[in-house]
Each structure stands twice: as C-alpha cells, then as structure tokens.
Amino acid sequence: MTVAVATIAIRFRKQQNALLRVITREGGLYYLSACALNFFNGLSKLSPPVISDSYHIINHLRLVFIPVLADRLLLKMQYTDGLGTRADMSTLTCGK
C-alpha cells in the first residue's frame, strides 16, 4: 500500500485528468478498506484471539466488500473511457 501511494504521489502529482482522479479516489478506497479488513481478519485468527468473532463476521465482510470495491474501481475506470481519456493516457509521464 505504501508503494502504491508513493507511486501515485511522486509520479503523477502534476497531472490532473479524470482517469488519475478515479484511480486515486477509488483505488485509495479499495486499498484502505482491503488493508483494514485483512488486518482485523488477521487479529481474529490469532491463537488467543484479540478480537472475538465467533460468527466470522469480519471474514464474511472481507469476502463481500473486497470484490465489490474492486469491481467498483474497474467500472469507474471503464466509465471514464472516452476520447479525451485515451489522449490523457498517452501523455502520462513519470514526472521526470
């Protein structure tokens, strides 16, 4: 997650187009949610459980929300596909 944030922040900080806005907003939501859900799922799986989850709610939330957020990211990226976005893709640089 740190590498993804650093890549977006350093490489593409001066570029403002619709596709990068979608990737930063929806991708950030996906990464933060996946990280939090996987972290709490890991805490519930420890030998003496830190979080008592006898019904495995955290695991089920993880199994539902991570694919939903990934699909949302892909659909938003597809929605921004247009003539202007294709031109913006060709102008993406590494910020050097």
Domains in the chain: boundaries: 2-90
Q: What pLDDT, on a 0 to 100 scale, did the predictor assign at position 16?
A: 78
**Higher-pLDDT residue of 49, 96:** 49
The pTM for the full model equals: 0.74
CB-neighbour burial class of residue 95 (10 A; exposed 0-12, middle 13-18, buried 19+): exposed
**If you average pLDDT over residues 40-46, what whole number do you get?**
91
**Displacement of CA 84 from its chain's centroid (Å):** 24
pLDDT band at 92 (very low <50, low <70, confident <90, very high): low
Q: Please report where in the chains the tokens 């990464």 appear, as a residue.
A: 31
Q: What pLDDT, on a 0 to 100 scale, did the predictor assign at position 6?
A: 84
**If you average pLDDT over residues 62-71, what whole number do you get?**
96
Closest CA to 34 of 75, 70, 60, 6: 70
DSSP 8-state symbol, 16? -
**If you average pLDDT over residues 66-81, what whole number do you get?**
89
